[in-house]
Structure 1
Amino acid sequence: MSSSMMTLIGQATLQTLYMVLISGLISGVLGLALGLALYTTRPGRFLACPPAFLIISAIVNIGRSIPFIILMVAIVPFTRLIAGTSIGTNAAMVPLTIAAIPFVARLIEGALNEIPSGLIEAAQAMGASPWQIMTKVLIPEAKGGIITSFTITAVTLISYSAMAGAVGGGGLGDVGIRYGYNRFEPVIMLITVAILVIMVQGIQTLGDQLVKKASHK
């Protein structure tokens, strides 16, 4: 394999990491907020608001039900508005982020549902405000589940980024399709797949270690 191809694969690897990092950070913050909204507005909770819950839940369900490849095409005008273009790494981060937000929200809601209701009732009895309950009780108690949610999301974003690369989003998916598949170079295809697998294993291992530390605390 030529040095220029190795350089190209190296650049594509950095592009993939960049896409996953930025879209993961943005979707993580927004998904956490949305997950908290889903949990707290559900009937019977301390900020119960059935109409708001139904609306938020419906939006999240719709977002999760749209296949990523269709989402990418459907929001091309919005992507151009945000990124100034519909192709390239920066453009790919727009659909990546939008696809991940409802995914994170449901995972966060599931993690919060594992918290014993007695802890929340005790905080309310002590006069804690809703904001204090969310920041001092819900998030700390669900820390392990939240980290797991972010880990799962990061792994999912890696697979999504490869799909985005196949349609002009850059990264390893782009290299694998253009130089591996289209040019009948199986070695390049295998290298890109191997790098993606290593990324997934690395993120999963890091996530497992963080969950272990959080659970010990």
Structure 2
Amino acid sequence: MGVRRFFLIIAVVTTLVPDAAVRADVNYRAEITGAEDSGLADLLDKVSELKTLEDKPPASEEALRRRADRDLGRLADAAHSLGYWDAEFSYEVDTEAEPAKVTVKVEPGSLYHVASVRVQGPDGQPLSIPNQPKLPLKPGDPARTAPVVATETALVAALGDGGHPFAKVEDRRVELDKTAKTMEVTYTLDPGPVEHFGPLAITGLERLEPAAVR
């Protein structure tokens, strides 16, 4: 009788315990510190999964730490994109606080700058670009990744406008000098042949002479 009563009590208690008590999500707040550059700070906040998913708390402290671990690589990529190629990240989790607190610390290091931008042909010799467009990337600029890609696009477009419709990129080499804190970028382009428009022929005119629409 005593045994049956014991099992009955366990069954009743199990029924009354809500699921939330069995699986308690870890509410938390995240903070990223150490970024004095406002542009870098804003970008880190924007790409951080810890920040963007604050309203979706993980199921455990372990899951929270996994989220933080994933953030480290994402934040490093963001810092590199703005020219902070030596940036380092670490984090601390305080589960004693209510809500829990995750503090991500960034040491941005020096801002790298562009030392040189070289454009060459397949033979390795300097390549002349028609009308020499104003490029997004130039020596002295912060060593950011977006202008590197934009410059490649601008070079191919300039060759196309200059009569090389089949111009293409063969290689893009980016070299970082960790001592000088600089970036050197070399574009290797194949301009392809120069193409010309052929004779213009206009047909189907009934009321106008061809010279009137040329």
**Shorter-chain TM-score: which interval?**
under 0.3
Provide the TM-score with structure 2 as the length reference. 0.25
For CA contacts below 8 A with separation 6 or more, give which structure has more relative contact order: 1
Provide the TM-score with structure 1 as the length reference. 0.25
